[in-house]
Amino acid sequence: SQVRQQGNDKSYTLCWPKDWLPQDCPFIRVLGVDYESRLSDWFPTCSEKLRVKSLGEKSAIVLDQLMRCGIGQRPTVWVAHSMGGLLVKKILTEALSSCDYQAHRIALNTRAVVFLSTPHFGCPLAKINDVLGYLLLPSTEVEELRNNTRILTDLHERFNDLLQEVNVKIVTFTETKSTRIATLGMDLHIVPPEFSYFEVGDLFEMPCDHACVAKPRNRLSFIYQTVLNLIKSVEEDEETVALPCSRRDSRDSY
């Protein structure tokens, strides 16, 4: 989520959710999830222990971390980029079916998900090894991203089932530009729109590459303002629901 501006631009930030959202929504809690993700396991130090975990393994680890942080006790809005969107879908579907009450609440208290170039149906980049096999050894997660693998289609079906049970707002941003891959000396459209479309909610095609779609230039950018307005709408909805209870409690006290 790094944003870089030249000159003395005060919008400079290394993490816009952490730096901007608390200024515009002072009563929210912002948490970031850091997880390992790379296109290739082709490194001299690569060993089985260091290899990227599968989506299922990652989701189990992150779900446990979220429960220990108390996530699920309050309404939650998820903002996820690329593989992070698949991770969110996996976490929420596992949480909904979990017998653990705390995990179950994470799914039930989810109010919105923002997908930023999430490869719901795979991505062409996952096939790059077919052409450049001598350069890249695909990591576990890239293998999972091959177009419409059973893993992705099953996950998408389960997430759509979740949307039938839990009222979740969906906002999708897609990239329309290629990304320069310096190590390969080529431009690649990492997640074309047709791979990141979601059939529910609002959809926006952005003139961004895969990296920039998750890096709004400043607090006036369309992406940031859309995320901000979504969070504020969730806050307003929660206040509206809570208001009658407050009034009833007030009357009962007399």
> What are the structural domains, with CATH classification, of the chain?
37-243 (3.40.50)
The pLDDT of residue 42 is: 38
Tokens coding 117: 């170039």
Phi and psi at residue 101, in whole multiples of 5°?
Answer: -60, -40
The pLDDT of residue 147 is: 62
The pLDDT of residue 24 is: 96
The pLDDT of residue 108 is: 97
Is residue 171 classed exposed, middle or buried when 0-12, 13-18 and 19+ CB atoms within 10 A define those classes? Answer: buried
Q: What is the pTM (predicted TM-score) of this model?
A: 0.83
Partners of 80 in beta bridges: 115
Please name the amino acid found at residue 146: R
Stretches where the chain sits below pLDDT 50 are 2-7, 39-50, 133-137, 245-254
The pLDDT of residue 122 is: 85
pLDDT tens profile 108-130: 999 999 999 999 998 876 666 55
The pLDDT of residue 249 is: 41
Distances in whole angstroms, Cα of residue 126 to Cα of each of 144, 145, 148, 208: 8, 6, 11, 20
